[in-house]
Amino acid sequence: MKLTRRGFGILAGGAVIAETLLGNWPMLAQPAAGEVADADKLSAMSLTEVSEMVHNKTITSTQLVKALLDRINVYNPKVNCYVTVMAKEALGQAAQLDAEQKANKFRGPLHGIPIALKDNIDTAGTRTTAASPMFKDRVPTEDADIVRRLKGAGAIILGKLNLHEFALGCTGDISYFGPTRNPWSLEYVTGGSSAGSGAAVSAALVYGALGTDTGGSIRCPSAWCGIVGLKPTVGLVSIRGIIPCTADLDHCGPMARTVEDVALMLGQMTGYDSLDIFSVQSTPEDYVKAMKQPVSSFRLGTPQSFYDHLDPEIDKAVKAALEVLTKLTAGVTSSAPLWDGSPGAGTGDADFYHHDLIEKYGLNYMPPTRARFEKLENPPPGTKVPTAADAARAHQKLMTTRRMIDSSFKDFDLVVVPTTRLLAPKINDSLAIEAKGGGFGGGAGGASGGKVYDWFAPGGGCMNTSPFDAYGVPAISLPCGFTESGMPIGLMIAGPHFTEGKVLALAYAYQQATQWHKKQPPLTAETVVPPIIESKSSPENK
Q: To the nearest 10°, report the CA torsion of 75, 433, 247, 374.
A: 120
* C-beta separation of 332 from 300 below 8 A: yes
N-to-C CA span, the chain: 15
Residue 430 among the catalytic residues: no
| Maximum Cα–Cα distance across the chain | 69
Q: 185 forms bridges with which residues in the sheet?
A: 182
Residue 193 among the catalytic residues: yes
Residue 46 among the catalytic residues: no
Residue 153 CA to residue 144 CA, distance in Å, equals: 14
* C-beta separation of 522 from 269 below 8 A: no
169: phi then psi, degrees, rounded to nearest 5: -165, 165
185 preceded by cis ω (within 30°)? no
* C-beta separation of 163 from 118 below 8 A: yes
* C-beta separation of 499 from 158 below 8 A: no
Catalytic position from the list 51, 61, 197, 217: 217
* C-beta separation of 210 from 121 below 8 A: yes
Burial class for 140, CB neighbours closer than 10 Å (0-12, 13-18, 19+): middle
With a CB cutoff of 8 Å and minimum separation 6, the contacts of 518 are none
The angle at the Cα of 208, spanning 202 to 214, to the nearest 5 degrees, equals 85
Catalytic position from the list 43, 132, 185, 193: 193
Catalytic position from the list 51, 61, 66, 118: 118
Angle between helices 312-328 and 500-513 (to 10 degrees): 100
DSSP 443: T
Task: For 456-492, give one letter per residue: b (16+ CB within 10 A) or e.
Answer: bbebbbbbbbbbbbbbbbbbbbbbbbbbeeebbbbbb
* C-beta separation of 433 from 448 below 8 A: no
With a CB cutoff of 8 Å and minimum separation 6, the contacts of 41 are none
- Which residues have a catalytic role annotated? 118, 193, 217
